[in-house]
Amino acid sequence: MKRRVLFTAIALLAALPLLVSAQTKTSSASTTSDERDALEVSVNAGLGLPMGAVKTWNDTLGAKSAIDLGGEVGMFLGQNYVLGLQFNYYQFGIDTQSDAKSLHHRLYSPALYLKRYFFGGSDFVPFVRIGAGLDFPKFATLINDAGSLKYRELSYNASFAFELGAGVFYYTSDFGGFYAEAGYHQGFTNGAKKSYQNQDYRFPGNISRFDLRAGIRVFFGSK
């Protein structure tokens, strides 16, 4: 099932140029360029599909699919570009039968993003985006606590991360609507450190993830 969702998301990314060229001019709800806004505010929810090291975390604590909750605030730079701040929270399940099954892997990801809209005459507006920020992982880890081995969620040092994505926004009114997007996230967390009871623990790999999101977006500051 996860593989099928991943392939579908990749196909959506690959189809973006076709979506742009296929925009029609039959819209009655989308606004003209003179009416486009100064500010966008979004909230979203979705699914994070882990890849690479986090799927085999510490051999016995592999990350499973994550719940993704987040939001964005951005300012328009001209007619088509938006520069903004986003924040996403991920809670991964743990692929284990150990005592750690009651814990979670968590990830906090603030970032700056630059978005490019392809406005036309349609209510459907494709967009692409890039982002760069920090990953703050809080992952369940097997630790030595005063001579006893225990599982605990450790907060590791922040690491640089970037992401690429694409999606489609759909106007439901002149001032907002719904959107869906797919993206790839890469966090350079390999070697990030956490000191606990005079012992250093190292994050064993980079966080790679494919995201699928949907949300609501509202525009402000119309002329």
Domain boundaries defined on the chain? 2-22+42-220
Write down the pLDDT at residue 169: 97
Averaged pLDDT of the chain? 83
Sorted by sequence, the CB contacts under 8 Å of residue 205 that are 6+ apart come out as 52, 53, 54, 57, 189, 190
Q: How far is CA 139 from CA 75, 108, 120, 125, 151, in A?
A: 34, 11, 44, 37, 10
83 or 147, which is more confident: 83
pLDDT digits (tens, 9 = 90+) for 184-223: 999 999 999 999 888 899 988 899 999 999 999 999 985 5
DSSP code string of 128-185: EEEEEEEEEEEEEEEEEETTEEEEEEEEPPPEEEEEEEEEEEEEEETTEEEEEEEEEE
Write down the pLDDT at residue 14: 46
pLDDT digits (tens, 9 = 90+) for 141-173: 888 877 788 888 899 999 999 999 999 999 999
* Alpha carbon 14 to chain centroid, angstroms: 18
pLDDT digits (tens, 9 = 90+) for 88-118: 999 998 877 666 667 888 999 999 999 999 9
Write down the pLDDT at residue 97: 66
pTM for the structure as a whole: 0.78
Q: What's the CATH number for 2-22+42-220? A: 2.40.160.20
* Residue 100 DSSP class: G
Write down the pLDDT at residue 81: 95
